[in-house]
Amino acid sequence: MVTVTPAGDSTSVNRAAMHRAALVEDAIHDIIERRLVGRGWKPYITAYTGYGAPGWARVMGRVLLARPGTVSKRREKVRGWRSFTTTPVNGAVVRIELGGTVTETRSDRSGYVDCKVKGDLEPGWGTARLHTEGAAPVDAPIRVIDPAVKFGVISDIDDTVMVTALPRPLLAAWNTFVLDEHARTAVPGMAVLYERMVNAHPGAPVIYLSTGAWNVAPALTRFLSRHLYPAGPILLTDWGPTPDRWFRSGQEHKRKSLRRLADEFPHIRWLLIGDDGQHDQEIYSEFARSHPENVSAVAIRRLSPTQAVLAGAIPGPSETAEVVPSGGKTWFSAPDGAGLWSVLRDTDVV
């Protein structure tokens, strides 16, 4: 059995150096966890879609507590604000079975498991099985990328595939804590665009990268499936205090994720897809300059004037598609998926 300590594990952090907000959060979680366990609450695992290549995989999940008899409901049906009322299990021993190899790790201070494990899987879709004491084992889907694949898609979610009008505070809170995925609106033509890109490049992975919280991962997965987006890993972040700051940086999460994907798949050139309502253009531009060999092109969905105002951006033209050379890479811009396809289809990106 292989033992892995995931990066960011609270057991490896000097608590004297931790931010006060993180210490307070840990103390509250500890009190709640002990009381709920004393009342008979049991752990359960929520598994997230991971990715990898033959020989290894990045496996992600979370260990939480639930009242006995409600585990299946908590895992599958929790929506809106209720997804943010979960209680994490800190330091739970989690065993991961992948392709005949068993790896043991522990959940971090927020109950998360995120580690790179060894195991032989064939290219395509596979599964990793997660176990922890007192909980039923669950399977985490794993997108295993063929080493021969040279092209992939990295896509933002908010206002790129799903209209959310982030980051306007009140509307963002309403969309996140109140509405479920049935009330979200898909951006016209984007699902068709992604499907065409995947069909043009057999085996190409689609990875969704967002600043959203892991709590909404099940709802986002259902939304993407319902609107016929290609299945793929969703890389989110943990909301709340970190060991060194009051609140986690969503922008830094995106930057680190892009760098990690470049390191893990140096042979893949990514089509980066985002929108002009937040910081996608800035983040993608930085990544294209620092990793030009890993970027095929950048496609930016332009928000409508109304959406731009809601998102805090400056409204711009939205009726035509554009091809804009920038930073040594070609940037494609259009208001929807059909417009982006009209400028992408006759290029070497496709």
- CATH number, domain 151-344, options 3.90.1150.10, 3.40.50.1000, 1.10.1060.10, 3.65.10.10: 3.40.50.1000
Which residues contact residue 38 at a Cβ distance below 8 angstroms, ignoring those fewer than 6 apart? Answer: none
Token digits for 323?
């091809």
Domain ranges of the chain: 2-144, 151-344
User: Among the CATH numbers 2.40.10.10, 1.20.1250.20, 3.20.19.10, 2.60.40.10, which is that of 2-144?
Assistant: 2.60.40.10
Of the candidates 231, 331, 348, 339, the one whose C-alpha atom is nearest the C-alpha of residue 287 is: 331
Residues of the chain with pLDDT under 50: 7-13, 81, 244-247, 309, 314-319, 324-327
Q: Given this model, what pLDDT does residue 26 score?
A: 63
Q: Given this model, what pLDDT does residue 272 score?
A: 97
pLDDT in tens, 30-41: 777 677 767 778
Asked if the domains at 2-144 and 151-344 fall in one CATH topology, the answer is no
Give me the pLDDT at residue 317, please.
Answer: 47
pLDDT at 232: 97
Q: What is the mean pLDDT of the chain?
A: 81
Write the single-letter amino acid at 54.
P
pLDDT at 81: 44
What pLDDT, in 10s, does the model give residues 14-56?
A: 555 565 655 665 666 677 767 776 777 889 999 999 999 999 9
Question: The whole model's pTM is what?
Answer: 0.84
Omega prior to 167 cis, within 30 of 0: yes
Residue 346, pLDDT score: 85
Q: What confidence score (pLDDT) does residue 213 get? A: 83
Rounded distance between C-alpha atoms, residue 146 and residue 224, angstroms: 23
d(CA 48, CA 221) in angstroms, rounded, equals: 9
279: which residues sit within 8 A by CB, 6+ positions away?
251, 254
The whole-number pLDDT of residue 288 equals: 92
DSSP assigned state of 188: T
